[in-house]
């Protein structure tokens, strides 16, 4: 037994050594990788275990808001296995059984939308939306209405066009030149109130008018679409203020601008509704989604559109090129929609949307208590199991705490067996927001454990122990 343990340790040590030598990690500076990264080897539900046998309660859904139904779902793996052994692949230019079934089930959750376009990542799903806008511009507006607006602090992906539509200066730094025709407008972070409110307007309406100002400046006939996150995720869990979305929708209608909702994080239950936009009584023209679509069991994303958008991109007599001429090879991998379908069925059967709403309220109520206890907690906010904590030097001036404090609290949580997310100065100007997004299966006990570890981490950090 000792010999076996010894050889297992050797295998693991060798893997860690090989990782350091061969793998170039996402978002990771060389020095951090050189110091050694945890290697997660197995998970079940909300719990994940590393190569040293240490267990963590994962309140980050796989680090980046992905594992909505939790780890170790044999049912999803089985559905993929059954599909892959039957038929693994055929290009999405042909009909496929799981792709058809999933599209129908998904659209039942999205009244007003009727077409599902498959690809493999959130960035790609957004790229498809941008290509649709550009082609509509070329076909129907003689090249006008080609510009796409995006908002400060929102993130839309890693590819050059998705990054061109991203409002995070640090993330873009050194990756230009960017794609022309993307225009930024200011954010709507009420806690940090960037608007003077002398006027008789709600904060939300005023913040949304920032978009209209940019439209008027650019010229309404040049703007074809706007892309927005329903709740800004990586930019700091920023919720839209009261009245914001109604004003955005009104403005889009007024200037005939397509509303693209990036539901890559918020979609498929994360906020206690199937989709984030459904909290706000608005009707988008295009919705993109990825992450939670298959909870990380498969790489699949969708760009969902109205019938009107679909109709605008069909071939016509004299314009054979007038249909949407786009493909992502692995949009034809049959395992993706098979996983997505099993994922959706789990969410329905286990009532995870309701659970997410209920547990989200429990989490937020607990965070309010921590806020009353620790003055560095300036704001707690969230919807469903998607919450943020903004850390400030004092609650009145709301200046961000030093990076070391945000990093320190996240590190203390990790040492205590809890994984949470946080902003990072490499992407956003301030690094003072923690975030949490446990899987939608979280129980009372899970939420209470998250809160008690957070409490301990704040206590240690603020007493500097």
Mark 51-70 with x for binding to ligand PLP (rule: CB under 6 A) and - for no binding. Answer: -------------x------
Residue with smaller CB distance to ligand PLP, 270 or 449: 270
**Minimum CB distance to ligand PLP, residue 61 (Å):** 11
Choices 98-106, 117-125, 318-326, 347-355 (CB under 6 A): range interacting with ligand PLP: 117-125
- Cβ neighbors of 233 (< 8 A, separation 6 or more) are 65, 155, 264, 265, 266, 386, 435
- Spacing of C-alpha 188 from chain mean position: 18
- Cβ neighbors of 186 (< 8 A, separation 6 or more) are 151, 152, 194, 207, 210
Per CB under 6 A, contacts with ligand PLP among 15-54 are: none
Place of tokens 């949009």: 331
**Minimum CB distance to ligand PLP, residue 261 (Å):** 10
Mark 119-138 with x for binding to ligand PLP (rule: CB under 6 A) and - for no binding. Answer: --xxx--x------------
Mark 228-267 with x for binding to ligand PLP (rule: CB under 6 A) and - for no binding. Answer: -x---xx---------------------------x-xx--
First-to-last alpha carbon distance for the chain, in angstroms, is 39
**Minimum CB distance to ligand PLP, residue 150 (Å):** 11
Place of tokens 């892959």: 84
> Residue 156's beta-bridge partner residues?
none
- Spacing of C-alpha 171 from chain mean position: 16
**Exactly one of 48, 161, 290, 401 binds ligand PLP (CB under 6 A); which one?**
290
Query: What whole-number distance in Å separates Cα of residue 76 and Cα of residue 339?
Result: 5
CB 448 within 8 A of CB 360: no
Residue with smaller CB distance to ligand PLP, 276 or 332: 276
Q: Determine, following the binding rule CB under 6 A, whether residue 295 of this chain makes contact with ligand PLP.
A: no
Residue with smaller CB distance to ligand PLP, 121 or 164: 121
**Minimum CB distance to ligand PLP, residue 403 (Å):** 21
**Exactly one of 62, 98, 157, 292 binds ligand PLP (CB under 6 A); which one?**
157
Per CB under 6 A, contacts with ligand PLP among 179-238 are: 229, 233-234
| Residue whose CB is nearest to ligand PLP in the complex, by number | 122
Q: Establish how many alpha carbons lie within 13 A of residue 131's alpha carbon, considering only the half-sphere containing its beta carbon.
A: 16
Encoding tokens for residue 317? 């007599």
Helix (H, G, I), strand (E, B) or coil at 115: strand
Per CB under 6 A, contacts with ligand PLP among 90-109 are: none
Place of tokens 């109205």: 306
In the chain, count H helices and then E strands. Answer: 14, 15
Place of tokens 């009727």: 114
**Minimum CB distance to ligand PLP, residue 369 (Å):** 29
CB 115 within 8 A of CB 132: no
Q: What secondary structure does DSSP assign to 27-50, as a single string?
A: T--HHHHHH----EEEEEBTEEEE
Residue with smaller CB distance to ligand PLP, 234 or 382: 234
Choices 118-126, 246-254, 325-333, 400-408 (CB under 6 A): range interacting with ligand PLP: 118-126
The footprint of ligand PLP (CB under 6 A) covers 64, 121-123, 126, 155-158, 229, 233-234, 262, 264-265, 290
């Amino acid at each position: 037994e000792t010999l076996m343990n010894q050889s297992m340790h050797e295998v693991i040590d060798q893997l860690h050594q090989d990782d350091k030598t061969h793998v170039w990690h996402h978002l990771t500076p060389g020095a951090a990788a050189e110091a050694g990264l945890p290697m997660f080897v197995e998970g079940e539900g909300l719990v994940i275990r590393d190569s040293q046998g240490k267990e963590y309660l994962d309140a980050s859904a796989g680090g980046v808001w992905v594992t909505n139904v939790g780890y170790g779902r044999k049912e999803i793996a089985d559905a993929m296995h059954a599909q892959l052994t039957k038929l693994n692949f055929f290009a999405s230019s042909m009909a496929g059984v799981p792709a058809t079934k999933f599209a129908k089930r998904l659209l039942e959750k999205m009244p007003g939308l009727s077409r599902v376009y498959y690809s493999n990542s959130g960035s790609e799903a957004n790229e498809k939306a941008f290509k649709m806008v550009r082609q509509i511009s070329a076909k129907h507006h003689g090249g006008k209405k080609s510009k796409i607006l995006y908002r400060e602090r929102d993130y839309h992906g890693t590819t050059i066009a998705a990054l061109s539509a991203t409002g995070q200066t640090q993330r873009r730094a050194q990756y230009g030149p960017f794609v022309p025709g993307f225009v930024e407008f200011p954010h709507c972070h009420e806690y940090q109130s960037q608007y003077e409110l002398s006027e008789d307007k709600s904060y939300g309406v005023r913040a949304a008018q920032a978009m209209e100002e940019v439209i008027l400046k650019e010229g309404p006939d040049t703007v074809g679409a706007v892309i927005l996150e329903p709740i800004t995720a990586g930019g700091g869990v920023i919720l839209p203020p009261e009245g914001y979305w109604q004003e955005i929708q009104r403005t889009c209608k007024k200037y005939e601008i397509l509303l693209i909702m990036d539901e890559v994080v918020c979609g498929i239950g994360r906020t206690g509704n199937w989709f984030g936009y459904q909290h706000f009584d608005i009707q988008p023209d295009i919705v993109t989604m990825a992450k939670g679509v298959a909870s990380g069991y498969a790489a699949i994303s969708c760009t969902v559109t109205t019938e009107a958008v679909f109709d605008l991109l069909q071939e016509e007599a004299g314009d054979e090129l007038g249909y949407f001429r786009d493909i992502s090879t692995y949009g034809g991998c049959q395992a993706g929609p098979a996983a997505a379908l099993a994922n959706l069925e789990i969410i329905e059967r286990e009532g995870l949307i309701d659970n997410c709403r209920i547990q989200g309220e429990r989490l937020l109520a607990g965070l309010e208590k921590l806020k009353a206890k620790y003055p560095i907690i300036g704001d707690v906010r969230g919807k469903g199991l998607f919450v943020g904590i903004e850390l400030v030097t004092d609650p009145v001036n709301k200046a961000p705490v030093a990076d070391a404090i945000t990093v320190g609290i996240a590190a203390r949580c990790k040492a205590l067996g809890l994984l949470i997310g946080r902003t990072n100065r490499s992407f956003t100007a301030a690094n003072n927001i923690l975030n949490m997004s446990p899987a939608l299966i979280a129980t009372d006990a899970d939420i209470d454990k998250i809160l008690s570890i957070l409490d301990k981490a704040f206590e240690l950090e603020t007493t500097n122990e």
